[in-house]
Structure 1
Amino acid sequence: MIFRWFIATVLAIFTGFAIAPAASAAEIESGGPLTSINISPQLNCDVRHQGDVNGEWFDDVACGTFVAFGGNLYGPAELPAGSEATSVDNYVPFTAISQSPMTGTGTSSDPFAITTKVGLGDTGATLTQVDSYVNGATAYRTDISVTGGASSGNAVVYRGGDCFLQDSDQGFGQVLDGSAPVCKAQPDSDNPERVEGFRPLTSGAAHVEGHYKDVWALIGSGNMLPNTCRCDEQVDNGIAISWARELTQGATVTLSSLTFFSPVGTTPLTVTKTVDRAQATAGSEVTYAITLTNDGATAQEITSVTDSLPEGFAYVPGSTSGLTATDPTGTSDLTWAGDFEVPAAGDDGPGTATLNFRATVSDVPGTYTNSAGAEGPGATVVTAEDTAPVTVTAATSTSTTSTTSTTSTTSTSSTSTSPSSTTTTTAEPTSTTTEPTPTATAPTTTTTQPSAVVTPEGPQTPDKVQTDGGPVHSGLGDAGLWLFGGAGGLALLLALRWTAVRPSRRH
């Protein structure tokens, strides 16, 4: 580890990329457990967990966002021990444009947030990143919006980091839910259940866990990640996720993810919803199952489970079973309140808790989906959005002369935020996709989610990017963008300021 620090320091002196990310970082400070989340103006991330001596990434800032586009790889100017990415011939540091100070109050309806905007060289494309956090959560959320410039083409967007597990720079790996790469501590370490990981919320993500050099080299290639994990090998490891998207002039693609940390192995809960049959006659009943899945090493407390039934559907009183037998409040927007536990993962797999209930379907023929979620003190929950489709058919009517059957198709979506890949150009919808939404809740806060629109490219992100239910606003406005959108000379001056301001924390 000392050798790695030495190499990183030498590179910082003799390369143009490891000097600094353009200015002092904006910081989210909270009561924890993530006490500090620093985002540099060139999209490094530096995160602190309460009780930890060092940052969660190697040399604090070996973490960030990257974009491969137009033959170049764009990313932070500084990346300790990351030369496999930053020393490639086509590496171009992001151009810092603007960054807001921390906004919000840290509740689920008004989370702490930082908004950062960078440019992708001379392409005219820009990237706006919103990082947000709710007090008490073990994860923070990142929403990345890339807007195309003058040229169109395929892009790959990455989130990557070189893990530092406090008492050792080495660890094992894990992949949660088939898409979330995780660094895990060694069994004989001070905190053997310690984890840190990326959890993609937008569909189509790829992942990797492996030696940190291999992770940076894969990002440096500009290609999609290979969906591999050296899970059972003890290595000096890193992790990354990626999405491939097409950028077109003036169109915006939005990609969302969680970054989570826990010394005791707490990971985001995942909600799934299923229905017992895909087709039902108008006015008949169907049975739904809401399942909460826990891949982590600790049991988690849930204080409410929610479900937004489609229009025209109604809960059947007395039909709840499983997690509780108590009826929910509401008839279509349902809430089951109580003290529920989702057990920890064990040798047989993830811990689960399931709630079942029946509902009467609509009298109007069509295909209907709905959404379900949960909340608990400090829990980060990835909810089920626009799922469990049911096609309602009209009852056959019979007369002495003829028998007719008519069916039309509608689609009803519940009220919720869907963190997703979004392209703002308009097209006729041809499919309905399902995207999860994280709800990281403060202990006493109830979250109401705004609606999302589904397009062929995926569910659209609402106009105001939501983090765990709360709107995120930039603290700068148009005037701030004008001031920070200036020439590269200002970025150079700000780079020196970052070097002076960021504390020297070496592992």
Structure 2
Amino acid sequence: MHASRIRSAIASLTASAVLTLSAAAPALAEKPGTVTTIRGAGPVVQAINGAPLTIRVGDEHSYQIINADIPGVGQIYPSSSSGTADMGWMVRTGGVLYAPAYSTHPSGSATGSLGAYTAYSGRTISAVTGTGTAADPFRVVVENQLGTSGLSSRETVRYVNGDNYFSKSFTLTNNSAASQDVSIFLGGDIYLAGDDSGVPYRQSASGSVGGSDCGTPASYYILYIPQTPANAWTGSGYGNVWSQIAGGTLSNTLSTTSCIDNGAALQWNRTIPAGGSTTVEALTSFGDIPSILLFDVVSVTPDNGAQGSTVNVTISGLGFAPGMQLNFGSGITLSNLVVVNDTTATATLTIAPSATVGPRDVVGTNDTATLTDTLVAGFRVTSSGGPLPGGPVRPVPAVDGSGLVLLVVGMLLVGLVAARRYS
């Protein structure tokens, strides 16, 4: 959808107000923790109408996802939500929890266990841009303020048609005069394939956490996948997940109770200096475990090399095994590929003097040649005539006529002093 930015006067006034919500909100029998809905003040929502996923993004960092493989049912509770639901980014700093305005969602919310929090303010959301290709993903940008903390947030949501996952980056900027300690949370009340019950699930290699359906074997998963390694995680009953976020620390445990009304969350802890910022990135997947959790090329270090040089590199990722292959493109020969473990490999790159300068995609193939992953612009070839080590070479300023006269006089004086000293 390519709609212009929409904001009514009522939504603008509400977005700028601070909403404090209480854990004492009345609970409805069908879902413990249901909070009283504030009517007429829901978030502005932009929908990425992709395939198979439709991603609804709220202007206060909330989401709802529709999977065409499970038609007509949202994958986050409330599943009937026509807007966004109980999933989003939350931040704790200075003893205050900032979160989406869940109680204003028209279809309701069961986030009562979050306790008291302050809703994001100063909310803006962009129109959907992009064409949905790998080179030009669909994008939505959300910007908020965190009350009077001096922190501001910026989120970019991206989706590529055909993927069963979408990505999001979340940046906090500290506009205050002092450093701030923050805990960033991404979590939700997951609704697995049209069922509010599931089995908590974690993949330790990637640090992903979420849930699977109650079938044996499981055939449907919802996973929170940290692209930036997380400091903590949890997979438990949804109310317990909200309680842990309210307390400021996730437990790093997975509930052993099967087939429960479950949720999951990730946590990142950061100290942001005055005037500084920090960014975390994550994916959320729906359906099969995505191939990026089975084989994924994440980074190359160092990520550049000059024409005519030989560079030893370390490649990081997932699912590495002897027999895997890597291709850095024309003009770069790879040798001495050694798989250290399932997340690390080393290699030697020989860059031809004629190799084209610029970014290169790094294409990896797993050991059985069944999975391929591309790290877009993962390595860069630089010019052989680039700056020498130690910084750029600066030209010597030209000397005008008066400067030349002074230089000659100075040299004569030095000569006279030296002659007298050694005569």
**Same topology, TM > 0.5:** yes
Equivalent residue of 1:104, what SS?
coil
Counterpart in the other structure of 1:99: 125
Maintained 8 Å contact 2:122/2:145: yes
1:257 aligns with 2:282: yes
Which of 12, 33, 38 is residue 36 of structure 2 equivalent to? 12
- In structure 1, what is the equivalent of residue 174 of structure 2? 148
Where do residues 64-213 of structure 1 align in structure 2 (5 Å cutoff)? 64-78=88-102, 80-85=109-114, 87-88=115-116, 91-150=117-176, 151-176=178-203, 177-188=205-216, 192-213=218-239
Partner of residue 331, structure 2: 331
Aligned to 1:55: 74
1:27 aligns with 2:47: yes
Count of aligned residue pairs for this structure pair: 317
Normalising by structure 1, report the TM-score.
Answer: 0.54
Could you tell me how far 1:43 is from its partner in structure 2? 1.2
2 CA distance for matches of 1:160 and 1:7? Answer: 18
AA partner of residue 83 (structure 1):
G
Residue 24 (structure 2) aligns with:
none
Which structure's relative contact order is higher, taking Cα pairs within 8 Å and 6+ residues apart?
A: 1
| Structure with max Cα Rg | 2
Q: Deviations over 1:349-407 (max 9, x none)?
A: xxx89999765599xxxxxxx9944499xx99585998xxxxxxxxxxxxxxxxxxxxx
Task: Give runs of aligned pairs for residues 98-497 of structure 1, distance below 5 A.
Answer: 98-150=124-176, 151-176=178-203, 177-188=205-216, 192-223=218-249, 225-230=250-255, 233-262=258-287, 264-268=288-292, 269-271=295-297, 293=319, 322-323=323-324, 329-332=329-332, 359=349, 372-374=362-364, 381=373, 383=375, 414=380
**Secondary structure of the structure 2 residue equivalent to 1:12:** coil
Query: CA 1:82/1:373 → structure 2, altered by over 3 Å: closer, same or farther?
Result: farther
Give the AA of the match of 2:202.
Answer: V
Q: Closer, same or farther in 2 for the Cα pair 1:8/1:166, shift >3 Å?
A: farther
Report how far residue 19 of structure 1 moved: 5.1
In 1, the alpha carbon distance for the partners of 2:128 and 2:215 equals 37
What secondary structure does 2:36 align onto? helix
Letter in 1 for 2:220: R
**Cα pair distance change 1:120/1:381, threshold 3 Å:** farther
Change (3 A) 1:71 1:21: farther
Moved over 6 A (4+): 272-275, 283-291, 352-358
> Percent identical across equivalent pairs?
22
Deviation by residue 1:45-80 (Cα, 9 ceiling, x = unmatched): 101111323111110411011000111000011161
Tell me, what secondary structure is at the counterpart of 2:241? Answer: helix
| CA 118–211 in structure 1, closer or farther in 2 if over 3 Å, else same | same
DSSP 3-state at the match of 2:142: strand
How has the CA–CA distance of structure 1 residues 93 and 107 changed in structure 2, closer, same or farther, with 3 Å as cutoff? same
Q: Is the 8 A contact 1:181 1:197 kept in 2?
A: yes
Structure 1, gaps ≥5 residues long: 276-282, 295-320, 335-351, 363-369, 387-412, 416-507
Which residue does 1:481 correspond to in 2? Answer: none
Change (3 A) 1:249 1:323: closer
1 CA distance for matches of 2:268 and 2:316? 28
Code of the residue aligned with 1:145 in structure 2: it is: T
- Aligned-pair distance for 1:227? 1.6
Quote how far apart the aligned CAs of 1:109 are.
1.5
Unaligned runs of 5+ in 2: 1-26, 80-84, 104-108, 302-308, 335-341, 353-359, 382-423
Map of 1:312 onto structure 2? none
**Cα drift, residue 185 of structure 1:** 0.7
Asked whether the equivalents of residues 211 and 238 of structure 1 are also in contact (C-alpha less than 8 Å), the reply is yes
The answer to whether the 8 Å contact 2:166/2:285 transfers is yes
- Corresponding residue number in structure 2 for 1:392: none
Check conservation: 2:207, 2:229, Cα contact below 8 A: no
Q: Deviations over 1:194-252 (max 9, x none)?
A: 001111111343211111111000111123x2221125633211010010111233211
Say if 1:21 and 1:78, in contact at 8 Å, map to a contact too: no
Equivalent AA in structure 1 for residue 74 of structure 2: G
Are residues 284 and 75 of structure 1, via their aligned partners in 2, closer, same or farther at CA, if it must alter by over 3 Å? Answer: closer
User: Displacement of 1:272 after TM fit?
Assistant: 6.8
Compared with structure 1, are the counterparts of its residues 380 and 248 closer, same or farther at alpha carbon in structure 2 (3 Å cutoff)? Answer: farther
- Structure 1, residues 300-355: CA drift from partner, whole Å, max 9, x if none? xxxxxxxxxxxxxxxxxxxxx93579x98523277xxxxxxxxxxxxxxxxx8999
Shift of 1:98: 1.0
Q: Is residue 63 of structure 2 the alignment partner of residue 41 of structure 1?
A: no
1:154 CA drift (Å): 0.4
